[in-house]
C-alpha cells in the first residue's frame, strides 16, 4: 500500500511538495521519495512496506526499458507469475516492472489490487491502471494536454484550487458518495475500476455477468480457502478486523490464527459485546477499542481535513481509530470482510425485492437504495445505467449496480480509514476468484424469504452454531444525536440528515 503522484502539468513545481507530502505521506510512512523530476514529469511515492520491505524496492521504480513505474497495492500471485516466466524475484514491484514492459501485457493476469502508473523515458504515459473492483484509488485531472494523477484527490484539489461540485454534493446526499461524478470536485475524475486510461477497459463486470451461464459447477469453499491463504502473504504482521458478522467470522474460522484481532465501538455496540464474549471464551488475542464521544469528534474532524471530502458513514471514524491501535501494536495489515454482501446478496431488503419482483421499477429500487429523496437528474442517471442491463435478470441488475457503484464506496472508506493510520486493508472476498464463484448461484440459492448470503452462511455453519449463523443481526449505528448533542425529533432519516449536515459544515471550514 502506498501513495502515488505523477504530473506532466507545468503548473506543478517543487513548491507543491509540501501539499503532496501533507495529503499523501500518511499512505506510506515507511519511505518517502519526495517530489522528483523524470523528464517533463514530477513524480512522488510514499511507501508502506509490506512485501520485501527493503529500500531496494522503494519507488519510483526504474524498469529495464528505461520507463518509470509507480505502483500502489499488492500482487498476490507474483511468485507464480515469476516462475512461469523463469524469473527470480522477491518483490511484486520488481515482478511488475518486468512484465508490464511487454507489448502484450494484460492486467487480468494479476491477482490482487492495484493502481499502476508507468511513464516512458520519452515522457509518454504508457499505463494508468486501476484494479478490477476499485480497491485502490486513482484520481486524475486533465488540463489542456496535461494530466495529473494521485492516490488522493486532495492533492489535486489543493494544487489546482479545484472547487466543490454542487452536483457531487447532491449525489453525496442521495447515495453517500458521488457515484456518477467520480469525485467531489469539478474536473477531478476517478479512473474507473477495471480500466486503463490508455488501453481502455480490461475487466468488464457487465460482460462477465452476461456470460455467467457458461460457468461450471461451483467450488466456493475451496476458493475461499485459497484466497484467504493468498491474502495473508506478507513480510510484516497481519491482523483481522473482527465483528459479529458472517463475513469476518468466515475469515476468522477458515484462515488460521492471526497475531491479533481488532474490534471497536461505543459501549453496548453489538460488535463490542460479541468480541468481549468471544475473548472470554477463547484464547484469541482480541484488542477491543472502547470509544468516547470526544475521541470520535476529534478524529472525525481530522479525517475530513486530511481527505478534503465528507465521510460516507460514521464507521470510517471507528475504523481509523482501530487502525491506529493496530499500528501501535505493530500490525501493518488488517483483513476485512467487504465484498461479501455485494457478491452474495447480503443486502436482504433490496436483493429480496429484486428476486421477487416481476417488473424492475427504477423508482421502487431508488426508494429502497437511496438515503434521501432522489431528484429528477439523478433518477435519469440511474435509469440510463439500468437501461444497459435489460437482458439480465433483476437480481443480476442489482448485483451489477452494487458492484459498480456501492462496493467502491466501501472500498474507498476502508482504504482511507486504515491508511490514515498507516495500515493496509485487505478484502479477501473482493477477488476475481470469489466473484466468479458468486455468479454460479441461482437467485434462490443466494437468498430466500429469511436470509441473504445463503452460500456463505452454509459454509460458516461448518464452524459455528446454526443459531449464530442464521440469527438476524441487529446493527447499532452510531447515535448522531448523542455524538453532536442534538435533541431527537423522531423524523424520517433524522440521523443521516445530521451526519450529512455535520460533514458539509466541516468541509466548508477547510
State the sign of the Cα–Cα–Cα–Cα dihedral 233, 247, 112, 212. Answer: positive
For residue 18, what are the CA distances in angstroms to 22, 34, 85, 129?
Answer: 6, 9, 41, 26
My answer on whether 332 and 222 are in the same domain is yes
Contact indicator for 27, 152 with CB cutoff of 8 Å: yes
Domain boundary among 356, 373, 401: 401
Domain-located, residue 129: yes
My answer on whether 392 and 305 are in the same domain is no
Domain boundary among 356, 377, 401: 401
Domain-located, residue 459: yes
Q: Note the pLDDT of residue 360.
A: 95
Domain-located, residue 160: yes
CATH number where 144 lies:
3.60.20.10
**Residue span of the structural domain in which 120 resides:** 2-203
My answer on whether 387 and 407 are in the same domain is no
Q: Is 287 left (phi over 0), alpha (psi -120 to 50) or beta?
A: beta
Domain boundary among 159, 178, 203: 203
Q: Note the pLDDT of residue 493.
A: 74
Q: Note the pLDDT of residue 327.
A: 96
Q: Note the pLDDT of residue 212.
A: 76
My answer on whether 186 and 223 are in the same domain is no
Q: Note the pLDDT of residue 474.
A: 64
Domain-located, residue 209: no
My answer on whether 13 and 127 are in the same domain is yes
My answer on whether 363 and 441 are in the same domain is no
My answer on whether 333 and 355 are in the same domain is no
Q: Note the pLDDT of residue 267.
A: 85
Domain-located, residue 208: no
Domain-located, residue 235: yes
Q: What are phi and psi of 448, to 5 degrees?
A: -130, -165
Contact indicator for 4, 150 with CB cutoff of 8 Å: yes
My answer on whether 64 and 176 are in the same domain is yes
Domain-located, residue 124: yes
My answer on whether 315 and 423 are in the same domain is yes
Q: Note the pLDDT of residue 32.
A: 95
CATH number where 456 lies:
3.40.50.620
My answer on whether 291 and 330 are in the same domain is yes
pLDDT in tens, 347-367: 999 999 999 999 999 999 999
Domain count, the chain: 3
Contact indicator for 369, 409 with CB cutoff of 8 Å: no
Q: Low-confidence residues of the chain, pLDDT below 70?
A: 213-217, 474-476, 492
My answer on whether 115 and 128 are in the same domain is yes
Domain-located, residue 131: yes
My answer on whether 218 and 73 are in the same domain is no
Amino acid at each position: 500500500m502506498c501513495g502515488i503522484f505523477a504530473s506532466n502539468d507545468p503548473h506543478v513545481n517543487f513548491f507543491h511538495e509540501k501539499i503532496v507530502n501533507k495529503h499523501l505521506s500518511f499512505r506510506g510512512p515507511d519511505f518517502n521519495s519526495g517530489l522528483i523530476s523524470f523528464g517533463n514529469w514530477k513524480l512522488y511515492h510514499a511507501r508502506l512496506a509490506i512485501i520485501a520491505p527493503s529500500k531496494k524496492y522503494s519507488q519510483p521504480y526504474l524498469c529495464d526499458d528505461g520507463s518509470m513505474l509507480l505502483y500502489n497495492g499488492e500482487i498476490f500471485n507474483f511468485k507464480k507469475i515469476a516462475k512461469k516466466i523463469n524469473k527470480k524475484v522477491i518483490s511484486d514491484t520488481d515482478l511488475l516492472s518486468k512484465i508490464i514492459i511487454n507489448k502484450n501485457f494484460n492486467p487480468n493476469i494479476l491477482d490482487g489490487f492495484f493502481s499502476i502508473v508507468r511513464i516512458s523515458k520519452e515522457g509518454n504515459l504508457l499505463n494508468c491502471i486501476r484494479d478490477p473492483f476499485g480497491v485502490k484509488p486513482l484520481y486524475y485531472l486533465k488540463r489542456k494536454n496535461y494530466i495529473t494523477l494521485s492516490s488522493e484527490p486532495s492533492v489535486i484539489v489543493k494544487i489546482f484550487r479545484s472547487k466543490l461540485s454542487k452536483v457531487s454534493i447532491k449525489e453525496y446526499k442521495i447515495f453517500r458518495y458521488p457515484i456518477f461524478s467520480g469525485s467531489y470536485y469539478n474536473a477531478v475524475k476517478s479512473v474507473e475500476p477495471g480500466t486503463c486510461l490508455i488501453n481502455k477497459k480490461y475487466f468488464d463486470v457487465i460482460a462477465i455477468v452476461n456470460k455467467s451461464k457458461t460457468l461450471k459447477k461451483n467450488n466456493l469453499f475451496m476458493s475461499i480457502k485459497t484466497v484467504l491463504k493468498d491474502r495473508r502473504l506478507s513480510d510484516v504482521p497481519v491482523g483481522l478486523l473482527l465483528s459479529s458478522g458472517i463475513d469476518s467470522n468466515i475469515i476468522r474460522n477458515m484462515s488460521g490464527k492471526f497475531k491479533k484481532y481488532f474490534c471497536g465501538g461505543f459501549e453496548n455496540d453489538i460488535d463490542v459485546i460479541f468480541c468481549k464474549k468471544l475473548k472470554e471464551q477463547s484464547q484469541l488475542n482480541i484488542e477491543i477499542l472502547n470509544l468516547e464521544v470526544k475521541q470520535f469528534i476529534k478524529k472525525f474532524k481530522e479525517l475530513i481535513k486530511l481527505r478534503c471530502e465528507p465521510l460516507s458513514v460514521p464507521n470510517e471514524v471507528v475504523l481509523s481509530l482501530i487502525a491506529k491501535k493496530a499500528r501501535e501494536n505493530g500490525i501493518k495489515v488488517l483483513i476485512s470482510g467487504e465484498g461479501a454482501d455485494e457478491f452474495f446478496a447480503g443486502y436482504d431488503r433490496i436483493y429480496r425485492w429484486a428476486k421477487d419482483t416481476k417488473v424492475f421499477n427504477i423508482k421502487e429500487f431508488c426508494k429502497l437504495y437511496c438515503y434521501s429523496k432522489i431528484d429528477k437528474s439523478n433518477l435519469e442517471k440511474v435509469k440510463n445505467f439500468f437501461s444497459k442491463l435489460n437482458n439480465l435478470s433483476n437480481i443480476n441488475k442489482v448485483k451489477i449496480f452494487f458492484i459498480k457503484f456501492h462496493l467502491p464506496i466501501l472500498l474507498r472508506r476502508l482504504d482511507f480509514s486504515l491508511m490514515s493510520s498507516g495500515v493496509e486493508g485487505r478484502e479477501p472476498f473482493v477477488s476475481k476468484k470469489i466473484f466468479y464463484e458468486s455468479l454460479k448461484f441461482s437467485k434462490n440459492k443466494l437468498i430466500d424469504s429469511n436470509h441473504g448470503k445463503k452460500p456463505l452462511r452454509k459454509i460458516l455453519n461448518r464452524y459455528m452454531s446454526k443459531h449464530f449463523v442464521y440469527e438476524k443481526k441487529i446493527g447499532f449505528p452510531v447515535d448522531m444525536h448523542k455524538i453532536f448533542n442534538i435533541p431527537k425529533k423522531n423524523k424520517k432519516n433524522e440521523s443521516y440528515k445530521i451526519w450529512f449536515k455535520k460533514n458539509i459544515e466541516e468541509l466548508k471550514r477547510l
